[in-house]
Amino acid sequence: MKLPDRMARLRRFLLLPLLLGGCSPLTAFNGLVPKDGGVERAADLAFGDHARQRLDVYAPDGARGRPVVVFIYGGSWASGTKDGYGFAGRAFAARGFVTVVPDYRLVPEVAFPAFLEDNAAAVRWVRANVAAYGGDPGRIVLVGHSAGAYNAAMLALDPRWLGPDRAAVKGFVGLAGPYDFLPLDGPVTRAAFGSAPDLPATQPVNHASPGDPPALLLTGSDDTTVRPRNSEALERRLRAAGVPVERRVYPGLGHVGIVTALARPFRGKAPVLADAVAFAGRVVAPNR
């Protein structure tokens, strides 16, 4: 069997758990997919009292003073676990970033803004503790997929969540994020945001303002779960506010494919990891 045929069969085998069980959690996929080496892991570190207020840290071997990626997974604000995203944590760590993957409370136990409060608490933990794992607490890039991209965008753009700690956020990378989804027209968004007293304030597009950290907005042309128009809308608002922003659309890529493209066997589908790493490297450069 030729190598391309074997790789195609491997990809189909690894994607089977996603086809059977949805894109989140990705625990089965994470258990099967080959991962990057040269990375140390510290697991289940507490940043709060709740059972889901735990995080994992992935660090390059011998890390010291390295920039930090906080990777926030998606799952409609209602599902997901950090244990499904070791492939993402290791991918960024293997490229020189101390990478933190937090869990957070989910719908229906909580609704907006509890999941934002949890992710903000995780970032504050990073600020206080990541130096012990080789990270630089003053150089943080927030990366998120889907609902996680929403969470990351809100932390980056709305100063009420991080307060003075937002100054350490040097950039934001959103993979297929929902940034502009009013009115609430489905059970997912109504469950997460229906009780919010000020719905416009829940939308990342309404928080774009001068001085926000630079943003990289990535989406797939074939995403029918979170339409690319969300990234287009946020790009317009950030650009109008004078915020550096880049947007890229990957042809033929869907909502699941944009995050699985971070995994080793799928990087040929689209340069999601390479683009995110290049952007992150620029915004954390010491001379910025």
- Cα separation of 91 and 102, whole Å? 16
Q: What is the pLDDT of residue 23?
A: 44
- The count of domains in the chain is 1
Is 80 domain-assigned? Answer: yes
**pLDDT score at 27:** 81
Structure token pair of residue 208: 């774009």
Q: What pLDDT sits at residue 9?
A: 53
Per-residue tens of pLDDT for the chain, all 288 residues: 454 554 455 555 445 444 333 444 578 889 888 899 999 999 999 999 999 999 999 999 999 999 999 999 999 999 999 999 999 999 999 999 999 999 999 999 999 999 999 999 999 999 999 999 999 999 999 999 999 999 999 999 999 999 999 999 999 999 999 999 999 989 999 999 999 999 999 999 999 999 999 999 999 999 999 999 999 999 999 999 999 999 999 999 999 999 999 999 999 999 999 999 999 999 999 765
What is the domain extent for residue 171?
A: 3-283
Structural domain contains residue 176: yes
Predicted local distance difference test score (pLDDT) of residue 229? 97
Q: What is the pLDDT of residue 10?
A: 52
The domain that holds 219 is classified in CATH as 3.40.50.1820
- Tokens 């996603």 belong to residue: 18
Q: 160-193: buried (b, 16+ CB within 10 Å) or exposed (e) per residue? A: ebbeebbebbbbbbbbbbbbbbeebeeebbebbb
Confirm whether 288 is domain-assigned. no
- What is the structure's pLDDT at 26? 77
Q: What angle do CA 47, 198, 162 make, to 5 degrees?
A: 30
Output the pLDDT for position 1.
46
Neighbour order of strands in the sheet with 54-60: 39-46, 54-60, 98-102, 66-72, 135-145, 169-175, 215-220, 245-250
Query: Would you say residue 277 lies in a domain?
Result: yes
Query: Can you name the residues that pair with 172 across neighbouring β-strands?
Result: 142, 215
